[in-house]
Amino acid sequence: MRNLKRVIVLSWISLLAAAALGAQETPSQQSSSPQPTQQAHGPQAQRPARQRPNFAAMAARIFTPGPAPDPAAVKRGQKLFAPTCGFCHGPDATGRSGPDLVASSLVIRDNGGNLIGRVVHDGRPGQGMPAFPGLSSQQIADISAFLHSRIRAAANRFAYSFHEVVTGNAQAGETYFNGAGKCNTCHSVTGDLAGIASRFQPPELQARLIYPGRSSPGFGGPPAKPTRVTVTLPSGERVSGTLISRDPFNIALRDDAGWYRSFPVAGATIETDDPLEAHQKLVNTITDTEMHDLLAYLETLK
């Protein structure tokens, strides 16, 4: 009887597991026959522009306990720390033979020496730390200020501040935009570039200008159209579609019917229509002066 109950329970478990797997099966798993990629027809809904997070601001909020320490106190504390504590804890307090004080929970919770003062005065003989009874409360507070400056520096190590990126001549940049740079042939200051300077910080805008990617085309306008490619085979057959990949030996594309096609490069004639080709050529022709002038002009498009 006990064995019969066990068989019944196991059977129910198997049935429930099979039902769960069936519910999770995707449509592509239910049909294994190859189908060409479906092409979207008609106008597609425009997605709202995504605002990129400000990683520097995020990093600055990771951990900055209390107000920033007084720079004068930090300077005094550093001068005291180096000869007194640096031999064991390192000149930057990140540890040597002694522990890393930047990561110390005691130091992190300390406020003006209220926690580390006793440790500094009494030492930790059992752990090899000597006592420093001669240091005054003010000197310990200065050391605490230095240590907290090191903690803040470590916490905000990604919060870089960029200065003097915009150094060019905006008027010369406008001339280049509408002239030698031929930027106005694809971009419009009242269209895709309207308000561009308010959407990107100067370093990021400069990077997008010179090295646009597929996810951040050009100056940050709408997504770039995929690269179109036409392959003419030795037999004379021509196959056109969207480029997927290309290496010295093979080229792969998805043709207009949605089928994946791959061909050897040898013997074939390949024509490409890349929307970012102008930017790629720009890297080899634009001078530093022209780049900074152009960036200065773009920074006026608030």
Q: Are 126 and 216 found together in one domain?
A: no
Phi, psi of 256 (to 5 degrees): -65, -15
Return the sign of the alpha-carbon dihedral for residues 271, 274, 278, 284: negative
Q: How far apart are CA 278 and CA 284, in angstroms?
A: 10
Same structural domain, 143 and 79: yes
Determine, yes or no, domain membership for 35: no
Do residues 109 and 115 touch, judged by C-beta distance below 8 A? yes
Task: Dig out the tokens for 299 from the structure.
Answer: 């920074």
Q: Whole-model pTM? A: 0.40
Asked if residue 192 and residue 116 are part of one domain, the reply reads no
In this structure, what are the phi and psi dihedrals at residue 119, rounded to the nearest 5 degrees? -65, -40
> Do 163 and 202 touch, CB atoms closer than 8 A?
no
Residues 177-193 have pLDDT tens digits of 999 988 888 889 998 88
113-118 long-range CB contacts below 8 Å, 24 or more apart? 113/137, 113/140, 113/141, 113/143, 113/144, 116/140, 116/143, 116/144, 116/147
Residue 37 vs residue 263, higher pLDDT: 263
How large is the angle between the packed helices 288-298 and 170-178, nearest 10 degrees? 100
For 246-264, the pLDDT digits (tens) are: 888 999 999 989 999 999 9
What's the pLDDT score for residue 164? 64
Residues 196 and 287 in one domain: yes
Same domain, 215 and 234: no
Are 140 and 73 contacting, i.e. CB atoms less than 8 angstroms apart?
A: no
Q: What is the Cα–Cα distance from 92 to 82, expressed in whole angstroms?
A: 8
For residue 227, what are its two tokens? 């690269």
241, 256 in Cβ contact below 8 A?
Answer: yes
Residues 6+ apart with CB under 8 A from 233: 239, 263, 267, 268
As a whole number, the mean pLDDT across the chain is 77
Tens digit of each residue's pLDDT (9 = 90 or more) over 119-174: 999 998 888 899 999 999 999 999 999 999 988 887 776 555 555 678 899 999 99
144: domain CATH number? 1.10.760.10
Structural domain for 194, as ranges: 175-223+278-298
Question: What is the percent of the chain where pLDDT is above 90?
Answer: 36
- Paired residues of 260 in beta bridges: 254
- Report if residue 210 sits inside a domain: yes
